[in-house]
Amino acid sequence: MKRTILRQASGPASFILVVIACWFASGLVADRMVQQELDAALRQQRQMSGSIVYNMAEVIASDLAMSRAIPATMAELGVIQQALTHSQNYAVSGVDGEPAHREELLKSPELAGIDGFLRDAQGFSGLDIIWLVNANGLCVASSNAQNAQSFVGIDMRSRSYLTNALLGAFGEAYGVGRASGEPGIFISAPVYDDGLLVGAIVAKVGIARLRHWVAHAGTFVTDDNGVIIMAHNAALEGQAMPNSRVTQMREAERMSTYHRDEFQPVQIRAVKGQVRRDAPWVPPEIAEQLFDMPGQPIPTLYQSREGLNSGLSAHLVDPLAAWPELMRNHKRDHMLVFLTLAGTVALAWVITVSYLRERRHHRATRVLAEQLQSANTLLSAEARHDALTGALSRRYFLDLLRHEIDRAHAAGEPLCMAIADLDHFKQINDRFGHAAGDRALEHFVDTCRSELRGSDAIGRLGGEEFGILLPATALGAGLEVVERLRMRLKSMPSTKLPPSVGLSVSIGITELSQEDLPERIVSRADQALYTAKQGGRDRSEAVPPDDTAPPTRASASVW
């Protein structure tokens, strides 16, 4: 056939024009084919990366909400308010940077008791350190008061995270500890006594405790100044987002917050021009959605989520996995279509190859869709159940509590809620390791399942603290149930734990009243738990539904 075409052609110039026309037409066809593959790959990968960023943001918001609850709750305690009120006569004095009144503060019996209370609160809350600052900006008590580098007597007024609290508002900021050099999230809450601002309570959550935020490759977290404070790729930490607020800060502010003055800008650049040069078949509106990241040889998708009520932002840089194959496919398609247009024999071969390739593409699309569905199912299960113990997650348990309260009110049935806390759990972790602590948590949940009814529910509220729902159960019967549970845990040790590990649990229980909202019944259950712990641990305490005393440890602000 080629010979026939050549005989009919008027000369070499016509042949060259036909070849050029075929090549140009085959390029247009190849562009269209690979654009469809690119659209499908982008949709699938953008959906998966969006799900990753969303879940990452939800975890950050949930963790910080739990951390905020501790200082907010403690700010309502009378002992904290009185201690700050009585320490108002202490003020900053002496040489700048030298602890003022340190010896006097450490010798004060009342403040020594507060130091011990803060140390205990730090132990069961999972925070790195907690301290009190009076209205003069002087640290008067701390959970690490006995350490040589404690904050007692230190002038705290220059700390950015404390400014809002000393003005009567909550404060939360990322920073690097001046004494320890360890980064963390600093949370401050104002403390009032009889309507008068008497100081603030401050807590620090170390970044090391929050590494699970960036467990997925390509993820990182920035603070409200645009500095990367945590990243799956540790080389990115300390870099700043382009045109971020940190570049506008004064040198003294940067040194105070980060202990450094210079921040290398992270190179996340739109690669529209480069993509159009390397792959002119990519539509401009799609090229604008692709970015370049150091260390990534291929374009990437970039997604972020802000507005986490903390100033933090979740980010994901996800390389476009299909890009190398798309580049190869385009070159191949171009040539195949050209050969198709050049001859009838090549046409049959090209059609066969294209058909087989399309089948592979659809099969790959189907596999990716099934993988996406499986991933979504797995994410849903992980959101519903605690990965370690199998108990309900905190969020799902609280949603179930709301549902059971509505059902109990509608049916006129009783409902009991209990909060259980494993005694001296930190000592188990310290003496036998975190693996033993995990086994202890699993053993407690297994004990609950064997003792509770099928209609009852248990959820992990955080750390070693669990919530228990007993539908259609009055307070007296509920107290018998949790007491039986407590005795069973103590009398039947786990075979997976060392014999010297003695597990015990403190449980607080209360019953739903007709006027109760979820926050109130949780608050009373936590009040009962606090009473059980104050009574010596390894015991059960009940608070009746008509008890209107304010909560001693928990706060409804967690809602």
Looking up residue 509, the CATH number of its domain turns out to be: 3.30.70.270
Q: Is the pLDDT of residue 530 over 60?
A: yes
Domain boundary among 240, 275, 303: 303
Would you say residue 82 lies in a domain? Answer: yes
Can you give the CATH number for the domain in which 133 is found?
3.30.450.20
Domain boundary among 203, 231, 248: 203
Q: Tell me the residue length of the chain.
A: 559
Residue 412 sits in the same domain as residue 542: yes
- Most confident residue range from 152-166, 242-256, 494-508, 519-533: 519-533
Residue 285 sits in the same domain as residue 266: yes
Would you say residue 529 lies in a domain? Answer: yes
Would you say residue 2 lies in a domain? Answer: no
pLDDT at 383: 65
How far apart are alpha carbons 322 and 481 in whole angstroms? 57
Q: What is the mean pLDDT of the chain?
A: 83
Residue 410 sits in the same domain as residue 539: yes
Residue 198 sits in the same domain as residue 233: no
How far apart are alpha carbons 506 and 43 in whole angstroms? 50
Kindly state the tokens that stand for 283. 């539509």
Residue 188 sits in the same domain as residue 256: no
Residue 277 sits in the same domain as residue 418: no
* Total domain count, the chain: 3
Would you say residue 333 lies in a domain? Answer: no
Domain boundary among 303, 320, 339: 303
Confidence grade of residue 218 (pLDDT, cut at 50, 70, 90): confident
Residue 71 sits in the same domain as residue 169: yes
Would you say residue 88 lies in a domain? Answer: yes
Would you say residue 535 lies in a domain? Answer: yes
Residue 146 sits in the same domain as residue 168: yes
Nearest CA to 143 out of 119, 170, 114, 165 is that of 119
Residue 410 sits in the same domain as residue 547: yes
Residue 120 sits in the same domain as residue 74: yes
Would you say residue 132 lies in a domain? Answer: yes
Strand bridging mode 313-319 / 415-422: unpaired
Residue 190 sits in the same domain as residue 242: no
3-state SS record for 58-81: HHHHHHHHHHHHHHHHHCCCHHHH
Q: Which domain holds residue 426?
A: 394-558
Would you say residue 336 lies in a domain? Answer: no
Whether 417 contacts 468, CB under 8 Å? yes
Q: Is the pLDDT of residue 544 over 90?
A: yes
Confidence grade of residue 279 (pLDDT, cut at 50, 70, 90): confident
Residue with tokens 């507060």: 114
Residue 217 sits in the same domain as residue 199: no
Q: Is the pLDDT of residue 387 over 80?
A: yes
Kind plus residue range of the DSSP H or E element containing 185? strand 183-193
Confidence grade of residue 130 (pLDDT, cut at 50, 70, 90): very high
